[in-house]
Structure 1
Amino acid sequence: MTDTPAPSALWPAPPADGPVRATVTVPGSKSVTNRALVLAALSAEPGWVRRPLRSRDSQLMADSLRAMGVGIEETVSSSSAGDSETGEAWRIIPAALHGPATVDVGNAGTVMRFLPPVATLAAGDIRFDGDPRSYERPLGEVINALRTLGARIDDDGRGALPLTVHGGGALEGGTVEIDASNSSQFVSALLLSAPRFNQGVEVRHVGGNLPSMPHIRMTVEMLRAAGAQVDTPESGGEKNVWRVTPGALLGRDMVVEPDLSNAQPFMAAALITGGTVTIPDWPRRTTQPGDALRAIFTEMGGSCELTDAGLVFTGTGKIHGIDVDLGDVGELTPGVAAVAALADSESVLRGVQHLRMHETDRLAALTAEINGLGGEVTETADGLHIRPRPLRGGTFHTYDDHRMATAGAVIGLAVPGVMIENVATTAKTLPDFPRMWAEMLSGAGA
């Protein structure tokens, strides 16, 4: 990897001097990688995770599982399917989970929420800590749910990090009610470990609108692929109720899809410059929220085609405003907002009030940073109202949020003089982003 600027450095977002024409290979999905690691660690036999994302979030997940006794061997291996495909692969060797151990969650929502249920299955104390921002992110619903299911957790009444799970080597499980309106990860966290609970689990969401449903569907599909029995609303069960039957998980050979949400800035570059970007290995069927980019960016002025080479996305250089509910795909909001700030008409982004509790308050951050460049963005109760205005250069703060950094880079394509503060935060899910961005603009990726 090339050197990434230090957090204190300002990175000049390079403007595009013409239509972008490039092929960009996007690293593996963080969401798939971290779910695959958890399921493999809880399986009854070794398994493989192929083409994993190697980033801060996935490394935190792997290191945390290692701390609890799981074996993870990183290697380059051929596919078990007998073809010539090779690439990076992690062999996961399950073991009896144990403490004492300390888990550093960084600011990774998947780590801070998916692993406390795993820790209840360990013999011994597992302490969870992380970045200062992680203390502010909602976790109380997971903590309270685990206590209802029989866990002993010490959080000094905070309902947040830091905390200690006093693992007893097993968890009784059963039925629990939670309000997951702040994050679908609360549901996924309980489902992923549920096959190992004595009674499995029945999770009932009792709050308001449940965001990011594609991520719950991803969890369910991956559980079923590992041999778990899961009943869902989509399979004829009650609305907002998920049931997982106790049973052994199978060691599987999992190939991680490209992270479609991380394709967003590169597709945006084609849309803004009137160019063409090809994303190899775009799946024809997927539960990833990023697949919605095809429809969103087409409505905003582009066109796309799934080919043998991957997804080919083409822009005209004209960008239209959009009125869209992003509740299921909230992680796309920063990139959509960046493009909308350059459009020829107003945009309304709805259904994303939960973004106030992400890596940062993304609605407040987007409003402040786009307006700081001369834009006109107004927060609404559940999203943003964006009125395009001529933008100027200036510092674009990231708030240690990877998607804020890529949003700033997108604006910088059309606005000279945009300086990104702490572009290094993109390493959370998109390692070496500055190099990938430069190669795209130079055509080196074509």
Structure 2
Amino acid sequence: MLVQSFLLGLAVGLGFWIFQLVRLRRIVGTIPPSLKSQPSDIALPLIPRLRHEIASLRQQRQDLLQILQNYQQLLELAPVGYLQVDEENQLLWCNQQAREMLYLQRWQPGQIRLLLELVRSYELDQLIEQTRDRQQSQVSEWVFHPSCESATAILEVKPLVLRATGLPLSEGEVGVFLENRQAQLEINQARDRALSDLAHELRTPLTSIRLVVETLQLRIEPPLDRWVNRLLQEVDRLINLVQSWLELTQLETDPTLKLNRQPVEVRSLIAKVWETLEPMAGRHQIQLAYSGLENLWINADEPRIFQVFLNLLDNSIKYSPPGETISVETKIICLDNNDNGKLNTPANLEINIIDSGVGFAEADLPHVFERFYRGDQARSRVKAAESSSTGIVGSGLGLAIVRQIVLAHGGSIKAMNHPITGGAWIQIILPEVMANS
């Protein structure tokens, strides 16, 4: 009886040992080759190595969690908003700034809900979709109107101007940085109001000074009269600057305030502008070349559009080397592809003004239509030299006014460098073009 019990226990022990051996071999089979220094050796020294690797992986995991926590704390304290959504546009996390900008009172950390349930913003949703589809950073700016549950809150909450930058992440997730531009917008508006008030106040004394200078001009003999003439030029420059500033402010406040639209023939309008500039162009032997249809009409305010071409062609003359030609090219862009070039459907007019001057610096191209912007020094020196020889000094607001006039007509304007001439290339798109057969 004792022997049978011994044999039975031995059999059970051997069976358990074999089972553990087989299990250990299976585990060893899953170990990466880099850990198998001796494939045939599955003795006890391998187990401490496994324990060491497991401990190392745990330490790496803790380090990564600590790094993730540090980044999360940085984002939480960042001066810009940040939110992150998954592939189904569910809000995974956002920092305090984003919660304040988007009024996310109903969202709690750790809660996963659709972003559209929390923030009723079509622009934000579209930005996220475009970022995910294109897998590229996308930027959008819009006026955000927060949604409120009570009527009293709607009256208290003010809309915000937000700029958002979407970043594509792994597994369809998207991160969005939010910037509140409302304060900057209000500062700019306050600055413009102050400068406009100042410009209004300056008009009267400047006019009085000009009258005094004109009186002195008649009474002072040469060669001292050249100083009076110089003073008169500077006074005129200040008057033009004040008038341009007031005009630009008016256009930005209400672009369509004084637009008197009527049919305007483009070719004859450009010819009138060139007649005005021909004395200055003749001194430098600069010619104008027009190409395109002869009988193009647009529905526009003629004095305003005249001002656009006057400013652009004046700049082209100033920056073009002597003996060169300024090109004005017109082209019809039909909005209906099945129209075969016939203007019995709506169409746009593309106008290209190309010179052979020094062109724009690449860094200046996005800013050439900003007020008082001073670009590349080489181009500025050309203009300064021209101004000193002609007595014509720019106010720094001409291109900004041009842009506002074009926008008021529902068009667009773009500054480029022409690939052939190397000079400035201004492209204008105007709507409502017509042609008489």
TM, length-normalised to structure 1: 0.22
Higher relative contact order (CA 8 A, sep 6+): 1
TM, length-normalised to structure 2: 0.22
The structure in which a higher percent of residues are helix is: 2
